[in-house]
Amino acid sequence: MKKIICIFILLLTLGLFTACSNVTDEVLIEAREAVKNGALIVDVRTPDEFRQKHIDGAINLPIEAIMKGNIKLPKDKEIVVYCRTGSRSRVSAKVLREQGWTVYDVATQGDWERKIELKQG
């Protein structure tokens, strides 16, 4: 129970100070290319949030499961993570990277879906 309380305090703190997305076009381009090449899109929100709306093809692996180490993702796949504000995806990306996955944090579904103006040059 104490660990769960610590996780929620961490998430709350991150949400208060880092809720604005800083996902660059370059990260989005890399993440989209990774998905084309077989990377998994992982929604780290709650199952209820996932049921309401999610990126097509995404799987749901809530941050709580990730924090508990209950990660059943293939090690040979790259991972693209997102959540509602970018806070949970940031924490999840860090934990997954520490466990050996290659992870792209695209913060939110809105970021994932945003248009990118390709620069001519």
Q: Domains of the chain (ranges plus CATH)?
A: 2-113 (3.40.250.10)
110's enclosing H/E stretch is helix 109-113
Going by DSSP bridges, is the β-strand pair 59-60/103-108 parallel, antiparallel, or unpaired?
unpaired
Give the pair of three-digit tokens for residue 75: 């090690």
Structure pTM?
0.81
Q: How far apart are CA 47 and CA 11, in angstroms?
A: 17
φ, ψ of residue 84 in degrees (nearest 5): -85, -45
Residues classed as catalytic: 83
Q: Which residues pair with 105 in a beta bridge?
A: 81
Q: Which residues pair with 41 in a beta bridge?
A: 80
pLDDT digits (tens, 9 = 90+) for 56-114: 999 999 999 999 999 999 999 999 999 999 999 999 999 999 999 999 999 999 999 99
